[in-house]
Amino acid sequence: MQYAILFLPLLGAIFGYSAKHFGDLFSQLITTLFVCLSAILSIIVFYNGIFHENYGNYLVFQWISSGDFIVNWSINIDPLSSIMLVIVSLISALVHIYSIGYMNHDPNKPRFMSYLSLFTFAMMTLVVSDNFLQLFFGWEGVGLSSYLLIGFWYKKDSANKAAIKAFIVNRAGDFGFVIALFLIFLFFGTLNYNEVFQLVPIFAEKEINFLGFDANLITLICLFLFIGAMGKSAQFFLHTWLPDAMEGPTPVSALIHAATMVTAGVFLVVRCSPIFEYSQFALNFVTIIGMITAFFAASVAIVQNDIKRIIAYSTCSQLGYMFFAAGVGAYHVAIFHLFTHAFFKALLFLGSGSVIHSLNDEQDIRNMGGLWKKMPYTWISMIVGTLALTGFPFLSGYYSKDAIIEFAYLSGTNVGYFATMVGIATAFLTAVYSWRLIFKTFHGKFNNKKLSKSDIHDSGLVIILPLTALALGAIFSGFLFKDFLIGHHSMDFWKNSIFLLEEIEHLDVPIWLLYITPIIVTLSIPLAYYLYIKNTKVLEKIKLKNKLLYEFLLNKWYFDEIYELIFVKPIKSIGSFLWKAGDEKTIDRFGPDGISKIVKAISNKAVKLQSGYIFDYAFVMLIGLSLLLTFFIIYK
């Protein structure tokens, strides 16, 4: 069963693509069937783990064996990997089903479905690994798959650029990850999790010279691991690829943001919690980057107009929450939020895809409005996803997001207190931009000049069914799994799969902290309605008075422009110089082009001797004989 969970998506990718000659429907069904089977088996494994503690390590084959260094390809089933398998396979299965309807008019359906299944396999390989090398294989696999899917519509220049951007930015993060792996192997002599984690206390105080500076080995490893996580999970400084990734089809966005790719970074930090716990500096760094990312992304989302980009920045912000939860030592809360987030974020993306699909690929919320009666099922789904995202009482986000803020406060550190304040402020911004999206998309006046409102209708059953399943998850996942994952008995579930702090008595949480976030997100609903529907002139006045701030946020804090100036243009200039002066004018001129010109010139002269007259051939023979005699006389 464990082997089937991992390899069914791979078989689906292979069969789905190679069987395209049997028709598009066959490829869609075979890939979807295999991923759905994998999801069902993952749920069974998760259930057996909770109630029967049925965990284990299942060897696939021995990958590398060199002396004492042994790395296997294994399927490691523990509480952390079992819940990740459910997240990845279940969301992927629903995305596969959704894609059958959404990509109905695309001519390359087998390729798309195959890429989705490959993406799922790569992420599963990452989460079930028992060593860093297999994790790195899956890590690069999701990077490759995201490149293929973001650039799926390769005839669009913007899609190609977005795919390349995602690939290159992730290479920057992966460079840090690779350095961490080198350090681990150099000093620990192994890449197997259990062996590394057991040796960490021995090296806790070890100092090494790195680039001329003395630094703690564990801190260096943690920082470089986190740099890798920053790239995959689009954290501050390495976040620029995520909004552009919206150039891919909407099902891709849902899969990347809810179950694969961006969740890999959070998983890495949580999996390596036994290492991070020996470096307070690294944990503080994770917390600071997480809280900055949460606030930054929320501030940008509040003024964006592309429906998918708003949700993309929402993902970036929620990932910030997860990281600062990990930074204050609440690793289980980070995974709990990742778990609940998967449902409502996939719901929001697929819901937005339903809107885009019905509006003939329109993505600007300024060209929408008044759709709730025309698309009631999509509207209800988006409402549920928004309530869960904002942390409305008793929906999934309420349990997980509030728990992050509470644990940050209970950490008792200055960084934790600051993270609490940032988390509350970000929750307010999240509520405002989320309801802005709902009100401008589904309420108010219909603003689309290209379409008639009478022509708009809700999506078909194959799209609505996944939305319904995700809506149920967004409503109930927090309530049902809170006690298992972060409750008083959570240690019984997690066991040794992650590092857990001693249980904290929640009675220590101040009353104001328990109620402030629910009150804020509730009050934000009428506030957003007033600003975006009832009296839009108020916002226009605010924009005019704060034009610089508005432009700053609209242009995403000018990160793309700064990176263009600092990195892109200089590198392009250097590349252009090396290409023109180095490659063309030096290497080509004096190398292959120069030699070919000389050979051509000689051959052109030699051709003239091929006249057909005997005296010309006799003359050439005489010259040759003279040269031969001269040679023998000189060198005899």
Average pLDDT for residues 347-359, to the nearest whole number?
92
Give CA–CA dist 229/231, Å, rounded.
5
As a whole number, mean pLDDT of residues 260-280 equals 94
> pLDDT tens, 107-126?
888 999 999 999 999 999 99
Q: Tell me the H-state helices in 359-488.
A: 376-390, 396-410, 414-442, 461-486
Last residue of a domain, one of 549, 567, 602: 549
Q: Is the pLDDT of residue 503 over 60?
A: no
Q: Using 50, 70 and 90 to split pLDDT, how confident is the model at 600?
A: confident
Cα–Cα distance for residue pair 48/33, rounded to 1 Å: 23
Q: What is the pLDDT of residue 590?
A: 74
pLDDT confidence tier of residue 411, bands split at 50, 70 and 90: confident
Residue 23 lies in a domain: no
Query: Is residue 13 a part of any domain in this protein?
Result: no
Residue 67 in any domain: the answer is: no
For the chain, the average pLDDT equals 90
Report helix, strand or coil for 189. coil
- Exposed e or buried b per residue across 338-373, where buried means at least 16 C-beta atoms within 10 angstroms of its C-beta: bbbbbbbbbbbbbbbbbbbbbbeebbebebbbbbbe
pLDDT of residue 302: 94
Give the model's pLDDT for residue 507. 52
Lowest mean pLDDT among 47-56, 273-282, 513-522, 574-583: 574-583
The answer on 477 and 367 residing in a single domain is yes
Residue 59 scores a pLDDT above 70: yes
Percentage of the chain exceeding pLDDT 90: 67
Q: What is the CA radius of gyration of the chain?
A: 29
278 CA to centre of own chain? 27
Does 457 score more than 90 pLDDT? no
Q: What's the rounded Cα separation, in Å, for the pair 420 and 324? A: 10
Q: Is the pLDDT of residue 265 over 60?
A: yes
Structure tokens at 424: 């509350």
Residues 540 and 567 in one domain: no
478 and 584 together in one domain = no
Beta strands per DSSP E along 99-256: 207-210, 213-216
pLDDT of residue 313: 95
pLDDT value for 399: 94
pLDDT digits (tens, 9 = 90+) for 420-451: 999 999 999 999 999 999 999 999 888 888 88
In the numeric block, the tokens 């976030």 are attached to 517
Q: Is residue 433 domain-resident? A: yes
Inside any domain, residue 400: yes
User: How far apart, in whole angstroms, are the C-alpha atoms of residue 574 and residue 477?
Assistant: 52
10 Å Cβ neighbour count for 465? 15
Are residues 239 and 384 both part of a single domain?
yes
Same domain, 626 and 527: no
pLDDT-based confidence at residue 617 (cuts at 50, 70, 90): confident
Residue 24 lies inside a defined structural domain of this protein: no
pLDDT more than 70, % of the chain? 98
Q: What pLDDT sits at residue 609?
A: 67
Asked, for residue 2, whether it belongs to a domain, the answer is no
Model pLDDT, residue 131: 94
Residue 622 and residue 513 share a domain: no
Domain-ending residue, one of 549, 575, 607: 549
Q: What pLDDT does residue 43 have? A: 95
Report pLDDT digits (tens) over 335-346.
999 999 999 999
pLDDT on residue 341: 95
Residue 485, CA atoms < 13 Å, CB-side half-sphere: 27
Task: For 193-238, write each residue's pLDDT tens digit.
Answer: 999 999 999 999 999 988 888 899 999 999 999 999 999 999 999 9
Residue 603 is assigned to a structural domain of this protein: yes
φ/ψ (deg, to 5) at 635: -110, 20
Residue pair 294/320 in contact by the 8 Å Cβ criterion? yes
Query: 606 and 484, same structural domain?
Result: no
351, pLDDT greater than 70: yes
The number of residues in the chain equals: 636
Of 165-169, 174-178, 368-372, 581-585, the one with minimum mean pLDDT is 581-585
Of 608 and 385, the one with more pLDDT: 385
Are 403 and 451 in the same domain? yes
Is residue 297 over pLDDT 90? yes
**Residue-wise DSSP of 99-130:** HHHHTTT-TTHHHHHHHHHHHHHHHHHHHT-S
> pTM (2 decimals)?
0.91
Cα–Cα distances in angstroms (integers) from residue 327 to residues 193, 223, 400, 567, in the given order: 20, 12, 16, 30
Q: How many domains does the chain have?
A: 3
> Residues 560-566: what's their mean pLDDT?
91
Residue 599 one-letter amino acid: V
Cβ atoms of residues 32 and 96 within 8 Å: yes
- CB count, 10 Å around CB of 172? 16
Indicate whether 198 and 287 sit together in one domain.
yes
CA distances from 559 to 313, 552, 565 (A): 14, 10, 10
User: Do 180 and 301 reside in the same domain of the chain?
Assistant: yes
Question: What sign for the dihedral angle of Cα 183, 185, 188, 193?
Answer: positive
The answer to whether residues 504 and 599 belong to one domain is: no
In this predicted structure, what is the pLDDT of residue 488?
79
Q: What is the mean pLDDT of residues 275-294?
A: 95
Same domain, 480 and 568: no
Separation CA 561–CA 556 (nearest Å): 9
User: What angle, 0 to 180 degrees and rounded to 10, lies between the N-to-C axes of helices 157-188 and 217-232?
Assistant: 160
State the sign of the Cα–Cα–Cα–Cα dihedral 371, 374, 378, 380: positive
CA distances from 83 to 77, 313, 486 (A): 10, 25, 13
Give the tokens for residue 22: 């049997």
Rounded to an integer, what distance in angstroms lies between the CA atom of residue 202 and that of residue 363? 54
Ranked by mean pLDDT, which of 46-55, 445-454, 577-586 comes out on top? 46-55
pLDDT for residue 255? 92
Domain assignment of residue 567, given as a range: 558-590
